[in-house]
């Protein structure tokens, strides 16, 4: 058995890099409620926390990194002594367990930039999850693994002490950039481990002039040239990356280097709510033996998963190795992107299905990171709610957003990359009046981008946001492409567009001092209707 004494852990039964079959056995024997789906996937439950807890994330304040970190609501500081208290609390808890699980694996497919990650946890479900999400070493690589570059100490079943300095709840996810350690208390949601690794990569990579990106990526099967798709939750980033006509590089986390693009992860973590085989066959079929299904409801008789049941959470998830996708490109590395695509689900129904951005607009919209959601659960409330997440990954940034935007601008200029804004949200009116853009239309737009057809397609200047709107796309009705024309009341469109423009401006004030005047001017024009 593996020795963890260097972490002051003296548990004797330690399973290092156990096979999925072994972790299945362990989960079914020792995990509360763990079971099998009729497809062979392991069903597991994360307890009270069924999503990430961004307000409980902390970064240790340390003289070596304090000037690098974008402190504020995203990166909340923690005294090193408090980190040590939480770390010892986690170690004490793990020492009470009869069995522990260790995974040694890699983050980053490019050997020049990959880091070695060690996960120490008490639940086999967590070990299998990270076995899927990290890059699995060969036997030879495992034998020569050596000391890790990052250690995740997951004691999520045990709460933080709310009286520890800096704690605001029983949940705490703490990252020490100097120790390269993550300590998890008070949450058993597996996604915290995945995003802790991404947060560390968001710190390390810019120091090497590499752009970390919260995006999916695909590549042309013949040329190897890639495209990347940025988008917040619900915009279609994972769904649209599952394209049988292209190779999949990855669905969520990538880096853009001087050599091209590489995936950080070894697997995919797809939303499972309302999943159907007809709509998303690749993802549906990947949720088989070896995969983890998280917080789903299943039929007790035959263990058939009810993907439409959100009674536990809307955030049901499936984690599976990337090679479960038939057209995944292994290793997950590709040439420089020909196209960068920003996805937004605009529930206001204002933004066009597709428009081409200038480099300055690209930087503006990258920093804005806009999407919109249908507001709340209160009865009768149908007003969309704007969401802005800088660089389409605000909770995982460590440096100021301007640093990532500068790296993106440098890359797209250097490689003459096309940048597109695609609205996967509403058309013909806002939520409640209009309708959601058909997935088939969005796929047709993507196909036209990848074929090069949109490079020479006609465009029309949209006056409120200053966008060059593409007016002809094969497979998409022309009348759909100019949103003002799809509204029954054009003046209502103008008012809604002006309202959304105001929201963009208010959001961008936070970042305006860190960008050029040209980028600031690339935003929407206030007090100007869409009709001009």
Active site residue 238: yes
Name residue, tokens 């986690």.
90
Q: Which of 50, 219, 238, 409 is catalytic?
A: 238
Burial 383-422 (b: 16+ CB within 10 A, else e): ebebbbbbbbbbbbbbbbbbbbbbbbbebbeeeebbbbbb
Sheet of 13-16: strands edge to edge?
13-16, 99-107, 115-121, 150-155, 181-185, 172-176, 57-60, 76-78
Q: Which of 180, 254, 271, 317 is catalytic?
A: 317
Active site residue 52: yes
Residue 510 has which token pair?
């936070």
Inter-axis angle of helices 20-30 and 124-133, nearest 10: 150
Residue 54 has which token pair?
């961004």
> Is the peptide bond preceding residue 331 cis, with omega within 30 degrees of 0?
yes
Q: Which of 16, 46, 50, 52 is catalytic?
A: 52
H/E segment holding residue 106: strand 99-107
Q: Which of 35, 39, 233, 471 is catalytic?
A: 233
Inter-axis angle of helices 191-204 and 124-133, nearest 10: 40
Q: Which of 237, 356, 411, 484 is catalytic?
A: 237
Q: Which of 252, 339, 346, 494 is catalytic?
A: 252
Q: Are 212 and 240 in contact (CB under 8 A)?
A: no
Q: Which of 214, 403, 411, 484 is catalytic?
A: 214
Q: Is the dihedral of CA 133, 137, 139, 145 positive or negative?
A: negative
Please count the residues of the chain. 532
Closest CA to 293 of 278, 280, 279, 312: 312
Residue 284 has which token pair?
């549906």
Rg, the chain, Cα only: 23
Q: What is the chain's percent helix, strand, coil content, to nearest 5?
A: 30, 25, 45
**How far apart, in whole angstroms, are the C-alpha atoms of residue 428 and residue 491?**
13
Active site residue 214: yes
Name residue, tokens 């970190």.
69
Q: Are 498 and 464 in contact (CB under 8 A)?
A: yes
Active site residue 317: yes
Would strands 292-294 and 42-44 be described as parallel, antiparallel, or unpaired? parallel
Active site residue 237: yes
How far apart, in Å, do the first and last CA atoms of the chain sit? 71
- Residue 300's Cβ-count burial label (10 Å; 0-12, 13-18, 19+) is exposed
Name residue, tokens 């529930």.
347
Residue 362 has which token pair?
């690209």
Closest CA to 190 of 295, 41, 116, 344: 295
Q: Give the active site residues.
A: 52, 195, 214, 233, 237-238, 252, 317
């Amino acid at each position: 058995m593996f020795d963890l004494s260097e972490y002051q852990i003296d548990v004797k039964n330690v399973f290092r890099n156990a096979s999925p079959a072994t972790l299945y056995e362990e989960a079914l024997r020792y995990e509360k409620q763990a079971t099998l789906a009729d497809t062979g996937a392991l069903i597991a439950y994360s307890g009270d926390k069924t999503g990430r807890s961004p307000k409980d994330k902390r970064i240790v304040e340390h003289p070596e990194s304090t000037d690098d970190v974008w402190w504020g609501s995203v990166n909340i500081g923690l005294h090193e002594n408090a980190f040590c208290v939480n770390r010892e609390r986690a170690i004490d808890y793990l020492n009470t367990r009869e069995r522990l699980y260790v995974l040694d694996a890699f983050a980053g497919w490019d050997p020049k930039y990959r880091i070695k990650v060690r996960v120490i946890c008490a639940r086999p479900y967590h070990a299998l999850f990270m076995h899927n999400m990290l890059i699995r070493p060969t036997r030879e690589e495992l034998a020569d693994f050596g000391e890790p570059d990052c250690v995740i100490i997951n004691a999520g079943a045990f709460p933080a002490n709310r009286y520890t300095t800096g704690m605001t709840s029983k949940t705490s996810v703490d990252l020490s950039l100097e120790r390269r350690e993550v300590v998890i208390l008070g949450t058993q949601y597996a996604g915290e481990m995945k995003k802790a690794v991404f947060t560390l990569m968001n710190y390390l990579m810019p120091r090497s002039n590499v752009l970390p990106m919260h995006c999916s990526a695909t590549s042309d099967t013949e040329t190897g040239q890639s495209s990347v798709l940025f988008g917040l939750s619900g915009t279609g980033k994972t769904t649209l990356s599952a394209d049988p006509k292209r190779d999949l590089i990855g669905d969520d986390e990538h880096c853009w280097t001087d050599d091209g693009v590489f995936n950080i992860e070894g697997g995919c973590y797809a939303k499972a709510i309302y999943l159907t085989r007809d709509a998303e066959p690749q993802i549906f079929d990947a949720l088989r033996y070896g995969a983890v299904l998280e917080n789903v409801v299943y039929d007790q008789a035959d263990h058939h998963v009810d993907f439409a049941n959100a009674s536990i959470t809307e955030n049901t998830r499936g984690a599976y190795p990337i090679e479960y996708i038939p057209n995944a490109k292994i290793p997950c590395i590709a040439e420089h992107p020909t196209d960068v695509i920003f996805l937004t689900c605009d529930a206001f129904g204002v933004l066009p299905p597709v428009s081409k951005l200038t480099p300055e607009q690209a930087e503006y919209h990258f920093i804005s990171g806009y999407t919109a959601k249908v507001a709340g659960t209160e009865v009768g409330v149908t007003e969309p709610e704007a969401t802005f997440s800088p660089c389409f990954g605000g909770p995982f940034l460590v440096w100021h957003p301007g640093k990532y935007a500068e790296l993106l601008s440098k890359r797209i200029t250097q490689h003459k990359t096309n940048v597109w804004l695609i609205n996967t949200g509403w058309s013909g009116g806002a939520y409640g009046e209009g309708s959601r853009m058909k997935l088939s239309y969005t796929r047709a737009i993507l196909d036209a981008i990848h074929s090069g057809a949109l490079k020479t397609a006609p465009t029309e200047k949209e006056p409120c946001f200053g966008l060059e709107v593409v007016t002809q796309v094969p497979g998409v009705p022309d009348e759909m492409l100019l949103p003002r024309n799809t509204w029954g009341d054009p003046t209502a469109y103008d008012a809604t567009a002006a309202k959304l423009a105001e929201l963009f401006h208010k959001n961008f004030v936070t970042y305006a001092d860190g960008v050029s005047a040209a980028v600031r001017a690339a935003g929407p024009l206030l007090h100007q209707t869409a009709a001009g």
